[in-house]
Structure 1
Amino acid sequence: MQHFDILIVGGGMAGATAALAMSKLNVDYKIGVVEAFTPKDKTHPSFDDRSIALAHQSVCYLKELGLFEPSWSFAQAIKQVHVSDRGHFGKTDIHHQDYQCDALGYVVEVSPYGAFLHQQLKDAGVTLFCPATIETLTQTLDAVELTLNTGQAIAAKLMVIADGAQSPTRALLKLNFNSVAYEQGALIANVKVQGGHNGQAFERFTEHGPMALLPMSDSRYSLVWCMENSQLAQYQHMDAEQFIEKLHNAFGYRAGLFTQVGMRASYPLVLGRVEKVVHHRCLLIGNAAHAIHPIAGQGFNLGLRDIQCLVELLANPSQAQIGDYHFTRRYELLREQDINTVMTLTDSLVRLFSNSSRLMALGRSCGLFAMALSSRLKAPLAKQLMGHVIKGNR
């Protein structure tokens, strides 16, 4: 049996970043990663690559770790965010210059970034079991012991679960994931815009559901279009010309003229959270721990703050024995406020703008209009988008 201090299950964005952050500590931890899928050997983006939004705070942290470069061909700065409510007068803009930063955040394409992270794992000396899945899991007093489908037996003082929203490891531990389904799903695609986007992002609320456009390289936008579940299949499979027409009808022409759309995919929208983010010598991070609406682009950023919190605890192991009850309980308490805040604010935003009441619409418009006139009123929204939130008392 191979023994580790920390074993991370899931080598995707969250798991790989967690392993690399831990490897850079001044503590000599033995770290292993179990990942089910071999990453694509890819360093250049394609038209249809999926993307994630990195808030300003996340970018700063990844830069400190040497895991982000603004000059990458698969990274695009968000210079401005335009927020509007379709059919109503309220709107506001958030500019990077108002907050003394080069960008409010960046949009990064997942496939080439994932290949970069896995190359970094090899260079960092992290033991990678890939492709591999867990066959059995046993929790003892001092360790978590696993057997993999490859026949290997491994054990760790602490197991970090980062294998995504459908986490099979969470299921092995019989941890319930409490979720409430929205009445909508999300359609995602990349669209090209004539004349470029100049780093501008859009959050647009319509009577049929929220929409977001995030700037990408090569004059593309990453589109997140929330709509009734009954419409998803129709919009996903209609021809490109008709889809672009429907998109303009719903969004308008504020972003410019859309000229091309790539492959479309869809997924259900839920608000969800694991019943406990810790278990005996185990803790959960990222999508394995929580699921939020994508409209504000906060999903990966919330997971990245899980990683920051965990790494800060690991940097000072004298606080508690790694992986024991006091260690995992400390993590749970530190993450509670941030997770609660982001989940509540995101859900409230979606429900507020989904309400068809004329009185509510007037209130929304007045609120957005007031933000446009007052930087003080706009600041809380800007700070949330940039990821500068209270993470808990240490």
Structure 2
Amino acid sequence: MQHFDILIVGGGMAGATAALAISKLNADYNIGVVEAFAPKDNTHPSFDDRSIALAQQSVCYLEKLGLFEPSWPFVQAIKQVHVSDRGHFGKTQIHHQDYQCEALGYVVEVNPYGAYLHQQLKDAGVTLFCPETIETLTQTIDEVVLTLSAGQTIYTKLMVVADGVQSPTRGLLKLNFNSIAYEQGALIANVKVQDGHNGNAFERFTEHGPMALLPMSDSRYSLVWCMENSQLQQYQNMDAAQFIEQLHNAFGYRAGLFTQVGMRASYPLVLGRVEKVVHHRCLVIGNAAHAIHPIAGQGFNLGLRDIQCLVELLANTNKEQIGGYHFTRRYELSREQDINTVMTLTDSLVRLFSNSSRLIALGRSCGLFAMALSTRLKAPLAKQLMGHVIKGNR
């Protein structure tokens, strides 16, 4: 039997980062992580590695923790973001120089970064149960008692649920995940561009759904192509040449000439949120707490701000009070406004740019055109992309 101050369920990007951030706050905390899948032992990117976008605010936080280096081979800076509406005159560009920063954000490849984080967990002395899952869970007044699949019983004052959108731990806690399905799915793949990308990212809205290209190492883009669910299988099964032709037909040539496409995958798009981000001696963070459209690349950044809030609360809480009602209630109130803002913004963007009304299309074009003429007008969009959002009162 092992007793922990904090046990994190899920050792992916959010869970591993949370464990490391807490351990750097106070090395005396006894921290455990339960993760179902062993990470790939790979610190070098491959062509098909999936990636995430880190906003500037997220990068600053990770750098303070010593968990990010812009010079890593699996990291690429975003220098400019190009936003356009296919078939309409409106477009705008957001440049890093306009906001006196080295980059608007960075694209990080998940496999090598995940391997790095797991090595850091070992170096930090965090107890890692991997591969391992939770069989039973009981909440008592002072602790959460868990039985693992191997039969071991562990105890913790606070359990942090970070095991993803399909979180089985939410089910054990009987927490509903309220979601609304968009009439679209996302096709993801990496594509190579002939003459490099120069740190350019693209957000392009089409009549079939938004498309995003994020710069990666080795002259690659990470593609997120939103389309009707009925089209996903067709585009996944196309041969490479046909897929690249269709990509150019939909996106154009403003990003350059695409020369190679890797493995393609897809997933359904939903707007979802757990009914409560807290339970008795439990917090829910990251994708286990909220699922948003990838239109603005805010998913992991929102989860990282969950972690920042948790760490700030721990810094101002006596060890004996960790996991108590007042602690979890403060977390709930602190995160409400930021989560509401990001979920509302991303959903509004999807619905605004998916509307075929000519009048609304004209309004969109005028708005993007005005942004192109004024740094001040596009500042709110730029700040959102860089992760500078209202966090609410604490």
Q: TM-score range by the shorter chain?
A: over 0.9
* Superposition pairs of residues 278-317 of structure 1, within 5 angstroms: 278-317=278-317
Q: Distance in 2 between matches of 1:25 and 1:47?
A: 36
Q: Distance in 1 between matches of 2:170 and 2:29?
A: 24
- Bigger shift: 81-90 or 314-323? 314-323
2:109 equivalent in structure 1: 109
What secondary structure, in the 3-state scheme, does the structure 1 residue paired with 2:231 have? Answer: helix
1:258 equivalent in structure 2: 258
Q: Is the CA contact 1:55–1:385 (under 8 Å) kept in the aligned structure 2?
A: yes
Q: 1:26: how far off?
A: 3.4
1:351 equivalent in structure 2: 351
Q: Distance in 2 between matches of 1:322 and 1:353?
A: 44
2:342 corresponds to which letter in structure 1? Answer: V
2:135 equivalent in structure 1: 135
Question: What is the root-mean-square deviation in Å for CA atoms of aligned residues?
Answer: 0.8
What secondary structure, in the 3-state scheme, does the structure 1 residue paired with 2:25 have? Answer: coil
Q: Distance in 1 between matches of 2:116 and 2:28?
A: 23
1:99 corresponds to which letter in structure 2? Answer: Y
Q: 1:318: how far off?
A: 3.5
Q: 1:150: how far off?
A: 1.1
Query: Residues 208-252 of structure 1, C-alpha deviation per residue, up to 9 Å, x if partnerless?
Result: 000000000000000000000000000011100000000000000
1:388 equivalent in structure 2: 388
2:355 corresponds to which letter in structure 1? Answer: N
What secondary structure, in the 3-state scheme, does the structure 2 residue paired with 1:317 have? Answer: coil
Query: Residues 145-171 of structure 1, C-alpha deviation per residue, up to 9 Å, x if partnerless?
Result: 001011111010000000000000001
Q: Distance in 2 between matches of 1:225 and 1:120?
A: 34
What secondary structure, in the 3-state scheme, does the structure 1 residue paired with 2:94 have? Answer: strand
- Bigger shift: 89-98 or 19-28? 19-28
Identity %: 89
Q: Is the CA contact 1:43–1:116 (under 8 Å) kept in the aligned structure 2?
A: yes
Q: Is the CA contact 1:54–1:105 (under 8 Å) kept in the aligned structure 2?
A: yes
Q: Distance in 1 between matches of 2:273 and 2:54?
A: 21
TM-score by length of 2: 0.99
Q: What residue ranges of structure 2 are gaps of 5+ in the alignment? A: none
Q: Distance in 1 between matches of 2:43 and 2:26?
A: 30
- Bigger shift: 316-325 or 64-73? 316-325
1:209 equivalent in structure 2: 209
Q: Distance in 1 between matches of 2:167 and 2:319?
A: 29
Q: Distance in 1 between matches of 2:179 and 2:15?
A: 23
2:199 equivalent in structure 1: 199
Q: 1:319: how far off?
A: 9.6
* Superposition pairs of residues 1-394 of structure 1, within 5 angstroms: 1-26=1-26, 28-318=28-318, 321-394=321-394
1:375 corresponds to which letter in structure 2? Answer: T
What secondary structure, in the 3-state scheme, does the structure 1 residue paired with 2:121 have? Answer: helix
CA shift in 2, pair 1:120/1:264, >3 Å: same
What secondary structure, in the 3-state scheme, does the structure 2 residue paired with 1:40 have? Answer: coil
TM-score by length of 1: 0.99
Q: 1:393: how far off?
A: 1.2
Q: 1:62: how far off?
A: 0.2
Q: 1:317: how far off?
A: 1.3
Q: Is the CA contact 1:320–1:327 (under 8 Å) kept in the aligned structure 2?
A: no
Q: Is the CA contact 1:18–1:307 (under 8 Å) kept in the aligned structure 2?
A: yes
Deviating 4+ runs (over 3 angstroms): none
- Bigger shift: 24-33 or 143-152? 24-33
Q: Distance in 1 between matches of 2:82 and 2:158?
A: 43
2:299 corresponds to which letter in structure 1? Answer: G
Q: Distance in 2 between matches of 1:51 and 1:320?
A: 39
Q: Is the CA contact 1:189–1:263 (under 8 Å) kept in the aligned structure 2?
A: yes
Query: Residues 159-211 of structure 1, C-alpha deviation per residue, up to 9 Å, x if partnerless?
Result: 00000000000011110000000000000000000100000000000000000
Q: What is the number of equivalent residue pairs in this alignment? A: 394
Q: Distance in 2 between matches of 1:117 and 1:141?
A: 33
